[in-house]
Amino acid sequence: MSQNESELTQLQPTIIKNSKRHHQIKAMKETYFSELNEIHQKIAAKLLQVEVGLSFHIINLQRLIESNCRNLCLPVSLN
């Protein structure tokens, strides 16, 4: 038996294991990918809503703070 044949014989169990893993991963992808993609899309949409909502509240808070500062910083007339 040549060295190449010997190495191939030693590698066969590893090749078979990897092939089985490949088929398992492929089957899992076919089973779960569309569902995971749908979940990802829902989460991304929800995060966008939260981000927009937070931006709206931040802008309103900034306006409130600015108006309160203007009100507090007005000179008082001492008649």
Domain assignment of residue 62, yes or no: no
C-alpha neighbours within 13 Å on the C-beta side of residue 54: 6
In a domain, 44, yes or no: yes
Identify the three-state secondary structure at position 79: coil
pLDDT digits (tens, 9 = 90+) for 58-79: 988 888 888 877 777 655 454 4
What domain range includes position 25? 18-48
- Name the residue among 64, 45, 68 with its Cα closest to residue 56: 64
What's the domain count of the chain? 1
Amino acid at 12: Q
**What pTM value is reported for the model?**
0.50
pLDDT band at residue 2 under the 50/70/90 scheme: low
36 found inside a domain: yes
DSSP tag of 16: H
CA 19 to mean position of chain CA atoms: 30
Can you tell me whether residue 21 is helix, strand or coil?
helix
